[in-house]
Amino acid sequence: MSDYPVWVNGVPEGFLPVSDRGLAYGDGLFETVRVSGGKPTLADYHWRRLQRSCQQLGIAVDIERLLEEVDAFLSDNQARDAVLKVMITRGSGGRGYNPEGCLSPCRILLLHPLPSRSRDPGLHGARVKLCQMRLGRSALAGLKHLNRLEQVLARSEWRGDIYDEGLLCDFEGNLVEGTMSNLFIVTHEGDLVTPDLSFNGVAGVCRDFIIEFACHHGITVKEQSVPRGLDVAEIFLCNSVNGVWPVIEYEGREWGIGSLTARIRDSVLEELNA
């Protein structure tokens, strides 16, 4: 029995067979969704990304059936404010990489409490380190697939709460993302810049929301290479559970919480608490 609610293929406390390809090869995808007032937040962004990613990997998930199970799962567990994790694997298959014959994807739902911190980085700012782990180029760039070993090893580079997050570079020395977040900078000219994720990284749904918000409000957004040495006005990190974290310390440098960062943070928080 799990310490937290789990459904597998619509069955409470269901079992995952050891032959599942998600376990054997990381052959699957996941979404981490903040639940507020019993409802998934940024839901359209999450489900669109999941559907696109399943199509890209050739996993034939029934998205309507999945969403019905999500609603029933949250209702059955009386979830109000929580973190919902949705995992889709290709299902079970024989030994070897060939996915032929895997016609029944596995749907896994888990529910966790919202993260609790003694110090709120969203309000007070985040202290960030540069990780030694490097991200290589990948044909799976942008996807939130189940193989997250690079992030696991990067997060193991510090213990405790001395840092709130770590940033990862590619092998050319450009910043890509945090271990669990996307990166934005505000230039001295007032433009918003986020790393280009064409070759690595995860294209987060909170990132998508912020890009749309900025464009709607006339803020210039650029997706481009971001060097590790940052001479910028503001920095912030984001994900769909924590919202926006202004960066106040990084590599011996300090920043205040800038006005554009605060504006975007408040807009994202409003969306996550809707």
Residue 41 falls in the annotated catalytic set: no
Does 1 fall in a domain?
Answer: no
Task: Please tell me whether residues 250 and 153 are part of one structural domain.
Answer: yes
Q: Is the pLDDT of residue 101 over 90?
A: no
Does 139 fall in a domain?
Answer: yes
Task: Please tell me whether residues 106 and 162 are part of one structural domain.
Answer: no
Catalytic residue among 31, 69, 177, 234: 177
- DSSP-assigned letters across all residues of 29-68: EEEEEEEETTEETTHHHHHHHHHHHHHHHT----HHHHHH
Q: Is the pLDDT of residue 257 over 80?
A: yes
Mean pLDDT for 217-224 is 96
Q: Do residues 180 and 83 make contact, with C-beta atoms less than 8 angstroms apart?
A: no
Task: Please tell me whether residues 22 and 104 are part of one structural domain.
Answer: yes
Domain containing 54 — which CATH number? 3.30.470.10
What's the pLDDT score for residue 143?
Answer: 96
Percent above pLDDT 70 for the chain = 99
> What DSSP character marks residue 237?
E
What's the pLDDT score for residue 15?
Answer: 85
Q: Is the pLDDT of residue 249 over 50?
A: yes
Mean pLDDT for 65-87 is 96
What's the pLDDT score for residue 185?
Answer: 97
Task: Please tell me whether residues 126 and 99 are part of one structural domain.
Answer: no
- Residue 269: strand, helix, or coil: helix
Q: Do residues 85 and 109 make contact, with C-beta atoms less than 8 angstroms apart?
A: yes
As a whole number of angstroms, the distance between CA 263 and CA 216 comes to 14
Q: Is the pLDDT of residue 1 over 50?
A: no
Task: Please tell me whether residues 45 and 166 are part of one structural domain.
Answer: no
When divided into structural domains, the chain yields a total of 2
User: pLDDT tens for residues 105-159?
Assistant: 999 999 999 998 889 999 999 999 999 999 999 999 999 999 999 999 999 999 9
Does 63 fall in a domain?
Answer: yes
Mean pLDDT for 180-194 is 96
Task: Please tell me whether residues 219 and 159 are part of one structural domain.
Answer: yes
Residue ending a domain, choose from 70, 86, 113: 113
Residue 187 falls in the annotated catalytic set: no
Task: Please tell me whether residues 141 and 20 are part of one structural domain.
Answer: no
What's the pLDDT score for residue 2?
Answer: 59
User: pLDDT tens for residues 25-71?
Assistant: 999 999 999 999 999 999 999 999 999 999 999 999 999 999 999 99
Does 156 fall in a domain?
Answer: yes
Task: Please tell me whether residues 126 and 96 are part of one structural domain.
Answer: no
Mean pLDDT for 193-207 is 97
Q: Mean of the per-residue pLDDT values for the chain?
A: 95
Q: Is the pLDDT of residue 225 over 60?
A: yes
The pTM score is 0.95
Per-residue confidence at 196, pLDDT binned at 50, 70, 90?
A: very high
Task: Please tell me whether residues 129 and 93 are part of one structural domain.
Answer: no
The β-bridge relationship of strands 234-239 and 243-250 is antiparallel
Residue 32 falls in the annotated catalytic set: yes
What's the pLDDT score for residue 27?
Answer: 96
Task: Please tell me whether residues 90 and 149 are part of one structural domain.
Answer: no
Catalytic residue among 32, 41, 89, 261: 32
Catalytic residue among 89, 144, 234, 271: 144
Q: What is the span of the domain harbouring residue 147?
A: 121-272
Q: Is the pLDDT of residue 274 over 80?
A: no
Task: Please tell me whether residues 125 and 209 are part of one structural domain.
Answer: yes
Number of helices (H), then strands (E), in the chain? 7, 16
Task: Please tell me whether residues 247 and 165 are part of one structural domain.
Answer: yes
